[in-house]
Amino acid sequence: MSAIPYSVLDLVPVAEGSQPAESFRRSLDLARHAERLGYCRYWLAEHHNMPGIASAATSVLIGHLAGGTNTLRIGAGGIMLPNHSPLVIAEQFGTLASLYPDRIDLGLGRAPGTDQRTMRALRRQRSGEVDDFPADVRELIDYFGDEAGAVQAVPGQGLHLPIWLLGSSLYSAQLAAAMGLPFGFASHFAPAMLLQALEIYRAQYRPSARWPKPHAVVCINMIAADSEREARFQFTTLQQQFLRLHRGNAGKLPAPVIELGEEWSERELLAMEQTLARSLVGNPDQIRHSLKALLAETRADELMFNGPIVDHQARLRSFEIAAELMQAL
């Protein structure tokens, strides 16, 4: 077993020509595959109004995957708390934690995970702006505590469910440090502030009863294959996806291409390269070198891999290579 835990972030991608039902079948297969390969946890992320991501009903899907596996920790990476009442999330995850004891994680994000129009459709009546987030986090933690308040999460109270804070900027790093919580950084789509966020998190960390030391998870894109050529080919799916997102086209996951077309401007290509700058792409030797460099640079306590690959067997193989390399480190 690797000295550094390694985990999966699954956005439950929906490929062009496919439907979410197929994505759910593939996610369950990948989760079982990850369990056999020694992955520590398997997280799903809340997104809305995105045809290429099928994990909108995150807690429902967590229950499905937990029911189809035995030991793997299944969780949210994350629930976008501004979209929800803390009580509802406490009840949902209290239910999951009661059904699957010591196997459920709850990661929380501060962003809505969608656009303004969809936020309104979610009908979350808010008293203030996004700065309600720290109070919402504390309220949610209290629901899982031992002390019964006037309003109780049933189930939920007394379960002490692990809470994580997730982010792509310095804000969540500072809040996680102040609250004594583990922290995950989303360098798979926002790598610019990774090192600064980790430095702030560790420097400002206040020990808590559950987490006496900081615990930093670095999430990265990882596209591994037996040859560099195959890995680069599969990586074009992610490149195209971000180029389309840059134009406001959140469609389904595109099939890989031999080379990116000439329809993209230099500015768009540069933005895509900056967004995906931390991605690990290559054959096993190249990925091994990249993993060692990443761990030396970040001193991450855990790595989490996002691998949106259209070909399911190629995706399984990518996560298999990553597991073999992490175990050999």
Q: Where are the beta strands (DSSP E) in 30-159?
A: 41-44, 73-80, 104-109
Quote the mean pLDDT of the chain.
93
Of the candidates 69, 148, 80, the residue with the CA atom closest to the CA atom of residue 114: 80
SS3 66: helix
How far is the C-alpha of 74 from the C-alpha of 8, rounded, in Å? 10
How far is the C-alpha of 324 from the C-alpha of 318, rounded, in Å? 10
Could you tell me which residue, 122 or 71, shows the higher pLDDT? 71
Least confident range from 60-64, 114-118, 258-262: namely 114-118
How far is the C-alpha of 180 from the C-alpha of 52, rounded, in Å? 35
Q: Where are the beta strands (DSSP E) in the chain?
A: 6-10, 41-44, 73-80, 104-109, 163-167, 183-186, 216-224, 280-282, 302-306
Q: Full-prediction pTM beyond 0.85?
A: yes
Residue 1 has pLDDT above 60, yes or no: no
* Residue burial 26-48, b: 16+ Cβ < 10 Å; e: rest: bbbebbbbbbebbbbbbbbbbbb
Could you tell me which residue, 121 or 45, shows the higher pLDDT? 45
CATH superfamily of this structure's domain 6-328: Luciferase-like domain (3.20.20.30)
Mean pLDDT of the region 175-179? 97
Mean pLDDT of the region 302-321? 98
Q: What is the pLDDT of residue 96?
A: 98
Taking only Cα atoms into account, the Rg of the chain, rounded to an integer number of angstroms, comes to 19
Of the candidates 145, 139, 163, the residue with the CA atom closest to the CA atom of residue 86: 139
Which structure tokens are listed for 17?
Answer: 């020509």
Mean pLDDT of the region 114-128? 64
Q: With beta carbons less than 8 A apart as the criterion, state whether 194 and 187 touch.
A: yes
Could you tell me which residue, 170 or 124, shows the higher pLDDT? 170
Domain range list for the chain: 6-328
Helix (H) or strand (E) holding 231: helix 228-246
266 Cβ partners below 8 Å, 6+ apart?
none
Mean pLDDT of the region 157-176? 95
Q: Band of the pLDDT at 208, cuts 50, 70, 90?
A: very high
Q: What is the pLDDT of residue 2?
A: 62
Residue-wise DSSP of 153-216: -TTTTT----EEEEESSHHHHHHHHHHT--EEEETTT--TTHHHHHHHHHHH----SS-SS--E
Query: In angstroms, how far is CA 257 from the centroid of its own chain?
Result: 26
Residue 128 has pLDDT above 60, yes or no: no
How far is the C-alpha of 185 from the C-alpha of 166, rounded, in Å? 6
Q: Quick one: 93 exposed, middle or buried, by C-beta within 10 A (0-12, 13-18, 19+)?
A: buried
Mean pLDDT of the region 201-222? 97
Q: What is the pLDDT of residue 123?
A: 62
Q: What is the pLDDT of residue 246?
A: 87
